[in-house]
């Protein structure tokens, strides 16, 4: 049995779960999420817990068992507490600002980059160099953070660019012949 998949998901107070065959709706104080899962994994509710079972021990079913449980647990966690990623901008003249539904970034290019903020996410900028991305969907928060980071990834010599706040950039030495 899958070590991850066999653990039941305990539902906190204020979270409502509706299961229709392999489609799950989760609603909580921070928002609502829905997701379609593989029909091979049975999803049931019992005593305020979500329990997942698989039909057999084939490799595909074992993988789906743990994956489904992890996604459901993240959905429950998202509607109760939410998810947050913080990006840090390093570089002279590099800055960010929020203008309505767009994140405006100046990253050393000849033009300003307007990044549209997807629905369901809250992006705020503090001190022009820290971008906070918050939302209930873990996948969406992580993907948007990765897309913003990709606009100007950190470089190894001076560390200029956009990086995650907890990321460590391995620095390289410059030219060896410079005096």
- The residue ranges of every structural domain in the chain are 9-80, 83-164
pTM of the predicted model, to two decimals? 0.84
CATH topology agreement for domains 9-80 and 83-164:
yes
Whether the CB-CB separation of 55 and 64 falls below 8 Å is answered with no
CATH of domain 83-164: 3.90.930.12
Tokens of 147: 């897309």
Whether the CB-CB separation of 82 and 135 falls below 8 Å is answered with yes
| pLDDT for the residue numbered 177 | 59
Counting residues of the chain whose pLDDT is more than 70, the rounded percentage is 97
Distance CA 117, CA 115 (A): 6
Is pLDDT of 1 > 80? no
Confidence of residue 5 (pLDDT cuts 50, 70, 90): confident
Burial class (CB in 10 A: 0-12, 13-18, 19+), 75: buried
Handedness of CA 159, 89, 166, 32 (dihedral sign): negative
| pLDDT for the residue numbered 98 | 92
Read off the pLDDT of each residue in 60-80 and give the average, rounded to a whole number. Answer: 90
Per-residue pLDDT of 77-132, as tens digits, reads 999 999 999 999 998 889 999 988 999 999 988 999 999 999 889 999 999 999 99
| Domain 9-80 part of CATH 3.90.930.12 | yes
């Amino acid at each position: 049995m899958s070590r991850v998949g066999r653990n039941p998901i305990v539902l906190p107070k204020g979270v409502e779960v509706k299961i229709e065959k392999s489609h799950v709706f989760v609603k909580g104080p921070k928002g609502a999420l829905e997701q379609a899962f593989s029909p091979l994994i049975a999803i049931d509710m019992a005593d305020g817990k979500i329990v997942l079972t698989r039909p057999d021990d084939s490799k595909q079913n074992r993988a789906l068992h743990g994956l489904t449980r992890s996604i459901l647990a993240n959905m429950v966690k998202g509607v109760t507490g939410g998810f947050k990623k913080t990006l840090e901008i390093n570089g002279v003249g590099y800055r960010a600002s929020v203008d309505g539904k767009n994140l405006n970034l100046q990253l050393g290019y000849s033009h300003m980059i307007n990044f549209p903020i997807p629905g369901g996410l809250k992006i705020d900028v503090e001190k022009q160099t820290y971008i906070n991305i918050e939302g209930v969907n873990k996948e969406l928060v992580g993907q948007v953070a990765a897309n913003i980071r990709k606009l100007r990834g950190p470089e190894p010599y001076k560390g200029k660019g956009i990086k995650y706040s907890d990321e460590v950039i391995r620095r390289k030495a410059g030219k060896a012949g410079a005096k």
